[in-house]
Amino acid sequence: MSDTRFDPSTADGRWQLAWEQAGTFAADSNSDRPKSYVLEMFPYPSGRIHMGHVRNYTMGDVLARYKKMRGFEVLHPMGWDAFGMPAENAAMEKGVHPGGWTRDNIATMKSQLKRIGFALDWTREFATCDPEYYGHEQALFIDLYEAGLVYRKQAEVNWDPVDMTVLANEQVIDGKGWRSGAEVEKRKLNQWFLKITQFAEELLSGLYALKDWPEKVRLMQENWIGKSSGLEFSFELTNGDSLPVYTTRPDTIFGASFVAVAADHPLAQSVAAQNCDAAKFIDLCKKGGTTAAELETAEKLGFDTGIGVKHPFTGANLPVYIANFVLMDYGTGAIMAVPGHDQRDFDFATKYGLPIPRVVARSVEEANVPFACEAEAGDGVLVNSDFLDGMEVEDAKREVIARAEQGGWGQGQTVWRLRDWGVSRQRYWGTPIPFIHCDACGVVPVPKDQLPVTLPEDVDFKTPGNPLLRHPTWKHVDCPSCGGKAERETDTLDTFVDSSWYFLRFASQPDDQPFDRDEVAKWLPVEQYIGGIEHAILHLLYARFWTRALCHIGKLDFAEPFAALFTQGMVTHETYSRRENGRDVFYSPSEVDRTSHGATLMADGGTIDIGRVIKMSKSKKNVVDPDAIIDRFGADAVRWFMLSDSPPERDLPWSEAGIEGCGRFVQRLWRLFDQYDAGAEGEDKPLARKLHQTIAAMAGDIESLGFNKSVARIYELTGAAEKAAPSATRSEAIAALMRLTAPMMPHLAEEAWHRAGFPGLVSEADWPAHDPALLVEDEVTIAVQVKGKLRDTLTAPKGAAKEMLEEMALASAKVQRSLDGAEIRKVIVVPDRLVNIVI
């Protein structure tokens, strides 16, 4: 009974050191305990840890610590997704080397993570920019090349004609380069691709086995892969050539009123060769960015080629347009346009005055109902369609495909929305693609004994463009095949490749190969993967593909890397701004004095506008630095805040009041822990029931990552223990609370455990067991409704018979008043829950 305050400034570091010295969280692959691999998405070392990281890693940490207390050998590693564009941007803006900048950031962020007390196995740490990592990645890439899963083809990039450089999509703002302001052009380059489409069917069907993934992520991936069946057929051009098109709506074939091809379709190209207006139009289509969102929302534009095609059934002549909304990458790059039943075609037809026939209606009687101002893409029956009239959409699809196949002019086709994965980046700070271009031998992989192909250190970022391309010596090498003069590939790999196998490298890190197969078999798949929902499609699909590809070439024995996935929400904060000289200037929470009435700027006392609660971001300055919060409240209060209130899959609004409340709760628990008395005697039945109910419920809460629920239970048990008189039960509850809170507030729990005189570390203690016999309540509250409205409640013994409950309900004065003598038609009794009297 000495210290009345818990002092995190001394305790946090003391226990962090104790865990490190004891090697508490180093995973032992020779252990005979059951294994558990808990993994959070590793961070990009952008500078400092932000609250989003803290939230993500706290969740994983609670699970990892809990699993350890439940007797598992836990692998909980950490590393760095260290290649990427921000390092090059920093190099350009600040004149630093991307490598140095990245290493500095890693050092800072690692020390920040250590201050939070995460139960991480730091012995397995690595960064993807380590040549020891990316060299193995190069070897795997060559393996995939040799297995026929890598190829090169022409693909479009965003080209900044002023900076003479390739831009990322996020660097294109309103169709203009973010630095130069120049209008961006689409330009074709020869690039490297991975054949993810070869696995489309597997990646799709594999989703159904991922029972512990969020339904929404599986749905998003399913839609992204986009399996569709339709009809591929060829139109006969008026000049005798044929034009293959693909449609997912063959049923609407009688509604086709024109045909459209992509700007880079061979037909468009050949028209442009003879018609400079067409060529101008194609140039126009090259303006602007390459993203789907831009292409889809851009105004629909077309050019009438003057060529016609013959409709396969009606023989009618349909005009052929070059259109900016047709994608060369999907289907055949040419479509039959059915304006009545596709919104894009509708917009286009409206603009160019083309007919919009109706071929699907709600009923045959509505065959000639005009369209409102939009297309009708839904179900219905076919109309104005000759032999299809009266058929349902699905039957009509089958009928048209059958007739096309019979007639030999088309066939049913499965088409995927998924495209092959373009991995070429015309940038420095990434994994060099390990190939050599030789005039005599073509593309030759770098021999594996010459890996890694390392990045040259002496590069400059004073001019835009790829430093590898303009480096004086780096790319000049002899051909490994013929020995003649040759050049290295200067593209580097997409950083999503780096993050597609890092979880294998955490399991083992041999020098001579990417991973040790036995070690990987021991630890993988990851039991629980945790990260942001923003990675639902790309990262997670690429990692699934890469794992399957390695399985396919015999390097792995499993196809799915992540058995369970959890996607957590963002940390948000309100924004503070005011108009200054005609524009909004944002201020950080640390510069603002916020009361319950409003906010003022500390510097000059001026009024500040409180904006919406949005994701913490540097540009809006609504960020809170974890270090500053730890300085004030200690690591445990921050961890507790991250777990409190908001369900983990939802956004968490940061608030000053909230963290202060967490700081107070740490002290409140400390005071309770301080009252632990090993010698107390006597039994406290209600408290025992509460304790065992809490223990039983918390296991389920933590295993389903419902941390906010376990936090609420801790509050309830704490409240009950505080109010209870000293007893053996109360001491049991306090000791149990130390263990129940250990995964969440480990520093506080260790300190209390130690002071109470328990041996060893609470981090290595067993999770408390619950006694099922103590869970059962003997009385329940029954709701009594009249016609579904609550009129009274009554207390009944648990398991009371239906007849007894009905009798008790009818005896209630309040119920009788509501009934007011009305005739009772029915009485519904749900045992232990409610009685509903229907009149």
256: its two tokens: 């086709």
Minimum CB distance to RNA, residue 465 (Å): 12
If the CB atoms of residues 147 and 533 are measured against RNA, the closer one turns out to be 533
* Choices 48-56, 417-425, 432-440, 768-776; region in contact with RNA by CB under 7 A: 417-425
Q: Which stretch binds RNA (CB under 7 A): 467-475, 653-661, 730-738, 760-768?
A: 653-661
CA distances from 63 to 114, 701, 839 (A): 18, 10, 51
Residue number, 98 or 410, with CB nearest to RNA? 98
Please name the helix (run of DSSP H) or strand (run of DSSP E) that holds residue 518, with its range, or none: helix 517-523
- Helix ranges (H only) for 226-342 are 266-274, 276-285, 292-297
Task: Decide: is 168 part of the binding site for RNA (CB under 7 A).
Answer: yes
Q: Contact with RNA (CB under 7 A): which of 59, 157, 629, 738?
A: 157
- Chain centre to alpha carbon of residue 156: 26
Containing H/E element for 600? Answer: strand 599-601
Of 36, 105, 290, 431, the one binding RNA (CB under 7 A) is 290
- Residue 301 as a binder of RNA (CB under 7 A): the answer is no
> CB 809: neighbour CB atoms within 10 A?
24
Expressed in angstroms, the distance from the first to the final Cα of the chain is 63
Q: How many residues does the chain have?
A: 839
Q: What's the min distance (Å) between Cβ of 611 and RNA?
A: 11
Residues within window 197-216 making contact with RNA, judged by CB under 7 A: 215-216
Residue whose structure tokens are 């961070």: 43
**Binders of RNA in range 758-797 (CB under 7 A):** 781, 783, 785, 787-790, 793
Of 719, 760, 797, 799, which lies in the binding site for RNA, with binding defined by CB under 7 A? 719
**Residue 440 is a binding residue for RNA (CB under 7 A):** no
3-class SS letters over 540-572? HHHHHHHHHHHHHCCCCCCCCCECEEEEECCEE
- If binding means CB under 7 A, how many residues of this protein chain bind RNA? 97
Does position 495 interact with RNA (CB under 7 A)? The reply is yes
3-state DSSP assignment of residue 610: strand
CB 276: neighbour CB atoms within 10 A? 9
Q: What amino acid occupies position 464?
A: P
Q: Is 622 in the site for RNA (CB under 7 A)?
A: no
3 scored as a contact of RNA (CB under 7 A): no
Residues 348-407 that bind RNA (CB under 7 A): none
Using CB under 7 A, which of 310, 398, 517, 615 touches RNA? Answer: 615
Q: How far is CA 584 from CA 49, 110, 256, 575, 608, in A?
A: 27, 35, 51, 11, 11
Residues 6+ positions from 122 with CB-CB distance below 8 Å: 78
653 binds RNA (CB under 7 A): yes
Contact between 596 and RNA (CB under 7 A)? Answer: yes
814 binds RNA (CB under 7 A): yes
Taking CB under 7 A as the rule, does residue 553 contact RNA? no
44 and 499 Cβ atoms separated by less than 8 Å: no
Which residues 473-492 are close enough to bind RNA by CB under 7 A?
none
Best CA proximity match to 558, nearest among 526, 523, 530, 521: 521
Distance, CA of 580 to chain centre = 37
390/647 with CB nearer RNA: 647
Among the listed residues 110, 37, 116, 80, the one whose alpha carbon sits nearest the alpha carbon of residue 642: 116
Closest by alpha carbon to 744, among 98, 24, 55?
55
Q: How far is the CB of 768 from RNA (least distance, A)?
A: 20
- The interface mask with RNA, positions 658-677, x = CB under 7 A, is x-xx--xx-xx---------
How far, in Å, CA of 442 to CA of 484, rounded? 12
One symbol per residue from 18 to 37: x for binding RNA (CB under 7 A), - otherwise; what is it? Answer: --------------------
834 sits near RNA (criterion: CB under 7 A): yes
159 part of the interface to RNA, by CB under 7 A:
no
Is 343 near RNA (CB under 7 A)? Answer: yes
Per CB under 7 A, 709 contacts RNA: yes
CB of 351 to RNA, least distance (A): 15
| x-marked contacts with RNA along 226-255 as a string, rule CB under 7 A | x-----------------------------
